[in-house]
Amino acid sequence: MAQRVADQFADILVAAGVKRIYGIVGDSLNGLTDALRSQGKIEWIHVRHEEVAAFAAGAEAHLTGELAVCAGSCGPGNLHLINGLFDCHRSRVPVLAIAAQIPSAEIASGYFQETHPEQLFKECSHFCELVSSANQMPRTLEMAIHAAVAKRGVAVVVIPGDVALQAAAEAPVPKPAGLLPAQPKVAPAGADLDRLAALLNDGGRVTMLCGSGCQGAHAQLIALAQSLKAPIVHALKGKEHVEWDNPYDVGMTGLIGFSSGYYAMLDCDVLLMLGTDFPYRQFYPRGGGVRIAQVDQRGEVIGRRAPVDVGVVGDVRETIEALLPRLKEKGDGRHLEQAREHYRKARKGLDELAVGRAGKPPIHPQQVAKAISDHAADDAVFTCDVGLPTVWAARYLAMNGKRRLIGSFWHGSMANAMAQAIGAQAALPRRQVISLSGDGGFSMLMGDFLTLVQHNLPVKVVVFNNGTLGFVEIEQKSTGFLKVVVFNNGTLGFVEIEQKSTGFLDFGVNLKNPNFAAMAEAVGVRGIRLEDPGDVEKGIADALAHDGPVLVDAVVSRMVLPIPPSITVEMAKGFTLYMLKAVMGGRGDDLVDLAKTNLWQ
Ligand SMILES: Cc1ncc(C[n+]2csc(CCOP(=O)(O)OP(=O)(O)O)c2C)c(N)n1
């Protein structure tokens, strides 16, 4: 059979090192899927929702650093990819999306399923082009691959089903060297380094803020912090690269961060930003004489979050290596010690929340997260849903340089975790992959739980079943302020939680959930339901040791307030939180949580 455009397409994908494509088949994709079938070199990962295909491809690209691919049929098929593609693009991972199109002769006629993917996907891609003829195809696909790989992000090839079936034009299969551009190393300019060194040498107390641009620069960061006697604060995307084996670590900043990270950034003379575009401007020092230096390989991000005194365009690793000989080692370690002491306290406060007593439900979600961290493999891959699971992941998953952590940390989409776990497990079949899922997030793309069975992917899904869209409920609560009034009536305490009318009242957050563990069993996946704190350790350990997919349905407390709320706890004279805890049992524990998690006071 003469080569079709679709066969040529498949050959180019193989030349680009593509091992699998996530997607759902459809009429307009038939040419391509038939070419994949007859070629037999690329696996088709059949998902149940195309959004999952895009998230899965993104996770594969995140973990391997290589091009990953997803596909959708014309109209709604590829439209379903869009949210996942936004996530991939904003997370800067190389993903090619194949968007099949209606028959070329029908374009613009208002045909069945007609959309214009080359317009729809513009905002979430570096490259987005329609292939109109056999002649055009090889180069268009090659340019799409160049763009995704070189610019780190999404490229979309839109191809009508009939064009895929045309006879291919003569063209040699490209060589990998011309298809997969290497990542450049960006060396900083000498004059910029001199300015940075002068600021750091003469500027007083330094705090470092580190992001995902610090990947591969762990040893250099430690050497720099040692020389500067600087505490290291990280943004969430920096966690997997920065936090471990790090005596300078003082935690994370941001809304879901630690008080120690927050204050170390404000209470310094120079803030040194390294490979981070941390977006929340309210967490940067404003005035107060703090000067800011920023190092990033992307010139366009320098100065866009906070006013910068010195900007250096360069890779973090290269920059630190060239900077160190220019620095005078600081002798005064008081700033570092103060930040570390604050961190020890914040950490202790968080660890104290990650406990539970047998026979005293509800389970604290923190306990589940810590148990996952304690029992997970040394090189586990974690994914966490947007919502509270991201908070628990940020605070309780211990990184070690081999473990990986993926979330929807820029795009902030719900339902990312299990979808990303599918891609992680498909790409790294021998690694333990654990999804920290919210009950809202899990049920949003729950159809793809079946993909674990269909593709025999041994993902461990832990659902934090709190019966609510928790993060939103908490945002609603903490926008106003929550007042906990404790009256001591001499015998038992009486507790009243009063939500001030200045805040939002809970609305639309309740989830009427099934028993997720029973549901898992019904589809052939091992299900473990946890309702008692005494069962958490064993339940998590059993789940992680199970040879196959598992769902842990962890029924956890709804009443947690992990972000800075305005809580006031008013108690009758002489009545302490510990007395409250003693008299109120489980409910009292929750209230103690509420008060103690107010780390910002
Ligand atoms: C697709 C999408 N829809 C809505 C939101 C807004 N949102 C952010 S977190 C959240 C609640 C998540 O609830 P759940 O998955 O149950 O996790 P929890 O916070 O309760 O642990 C919502 C609705 C979002 N980020 N993404």
pLDDT-based confidence at 600, cuts 50/70/90?
very low
Strand pairing partners for 594? none
Burial bucket for residue 172 (CB in 10 Å: 0-12, 13-18, 19+): exposed
Instruction: Give, in order, the Cα–Cα distances in Å from 328 to each of 95, 157, 232, 310.
Output: 43, 52, 19, 18
Q: What is the pLDDT of residue 74?
A: 98
Rounded to the nearest angstrom, the distance between the alpha carbon of 372 and the centre of ligand 1 is 21
- What tokens were used for 131? 């292939």
Contact (CB, 8 A) for 60 and 427:
yes
What are phi and psi for residue 394, nearest 5 degrees?
-60, -35
Query: Is the pLDDT assigned to residue 572 strictly greater than 90?
Result: no
User: Can you spell out the DSSP letters for 470-516?
Assistant: HHHHHHHHHHS-EEEEEEE-SSSEEEEEEE-TTSPPP-S-B-----H
Which mutation among 469, 509, 561 tests ligand 1's pocket best, with the greatest number of atoms within 8 A of CB? 469
Roughly what angle, to the nearest 10 degrees, separates helices 82-90 and 50-64? 20
**Which one, of 417, 369, 363, lies nearest residue 392 by Cα?**
369
* pLDDT: which is higher, 78 or 560: 78
* pLDDT: which is higher, 494 or 126: 126
Stretch 248-257: mean pLDDT: 92
Contact (CB, 8 A) for 399 and 240:
yes
Rounded to the nearest angstrom, the distance between the alpha carbon of 482 and the centre of ligand 1 is 21
Would you state the torsion angle of the CA atoms of residues 30, 32, 35, 36, taken in this order, to the nearest 10 degrees?
Answer: -110
Tell me the per-residue pLDDT of 395-429, one tens digit each, with 9 for 90 and over: 999 999 999 999 999 999 999 999 999 999 999 99
User: Is the C-beta atom of 464 inside 6 A of ligand 1?
Assistant: yes
Q: What is the pLDDT of residue 560?
A: 72
Cα 535 from Cα 357, distance rounded (Å):
10
pLDDT-based confidence at 516, cuts 50/70/90?
very high
Stretch 296-303: mean pLDDT: 97
Stretch 146-174: mean pLDDT: 97
- Strand (E) positions, 531-581? 550-555, 567-571
Query: Is the pLDDT assigned to residue 94 strictly greater than 90?
Result: yes
Instruction: Give, in order, the Cα–Cα distances in Å from 551 to each of 361, 388, 477, 548.
Output: 20, 18, 30, 10
- Strand (E) positions, 217-317? 232-234, 249-252, 270-274, 291-296, 310-313
Q: What is the pLDDT of residue 504?
A: 61
Percent of the chain clearing pLDDT 70 (strictly above): 88
User: Is the C-beta atom of 439 inside 6 A of ligand 1?
Assistant: yes
- What tokens were used for 114? 């007609």
**Which one, of 185, 207, 223, 202, lies nearest residue 325 by Cα?**
223
Atom of ligand 1 nearest to the CA of 414: 26
Rounded to the nearest angstrom, the distance between the alpha carbon of 218 and the centre of ligand 1 is 32
User: Is the C-beta atom of 385 inside 6 A of ligand 1?
Assistant: yes
Cα 265 from Cα 233, distance rounded (Å):
7
- What tokens were used for 369? 């997260």
- Strand (E) positions, 235-304? 249-252, 270-274, 291-296
Percent helix, strand, coil in the chain, to 5, is 45, 20, 40
Q: Hey, what amino acid is at 275? A: G
User: Is the C-beta atom of 462 inside 6 A of ligand 1?
Assistant: no
Cα 584 from Cα 223, distance rounded (Å):
49
Cα 487 from Cα 489, distance rounded (Å):
6
Within 316-415, residue ranges assigned H as helices are: 316-323, 334-353, 365-375, 388-396
Cα 277 from Cα 303, distance rounded (Å):
9
Tell me the per-residue pLDDT of 317-366, one tens digit each, with 9 for 90 and over: 999 999 999 999 999 999 999 999 999 999 999 999 999 999 999 999 99
- What tokens were used for 82? 């869009």
Tell me the per-residue pLDDT of 519-537, one tens digit each, with 9 for 90 and over: 999 999 999 999 999 999 9
Query: Is the pLDDT assigned to residue 593 strictly greater than 60?
Result: no
Q: Hey, what amino acid is at 251? A: G
Strand pairing partners for 310? 293
What pTM was computed for the model?
Answer: 0.91
Region of 40 please: left (phi>0), alpha (psi -120 to 50) or beta. Answer: left
Mean pLDDT of the chain: 90
Contact (CB, 8 A) for 97 and 126:
no
Q: What is the pLDDT of residue 578?
A: 53
User: Is the C-beta atom of 469 inside 6 A of ligand 1?
Assistant: yes
Cα 315 from Cα 320, distance rounded (Å):
8
Roughly what angle, to the nearest 10 degrees, separates helices 334-353 and 259-266? 160
> Active-site residue numbers?
50, 112-113, 386, 471
Contact (CB, 8 A) for 312 and 192:
yes
CA nearest ligand 1 atom 9, residue:
387
Cα 192 from Cα 296, distance rounded (Å):
12
Region of 275 please: left (phi>0), alpha (psi -120 to 50) or beta. Answer: left
User: Is the C-beta atom of 393 inside 6 A of ligand 1?
Assistant: no
Q: What is the pLDDT of residue 568?
A: 47
Atom of ligand 1 nearest to the CA of 389: 21
DSSP 326: G
Strand pairing partners for 363? 556
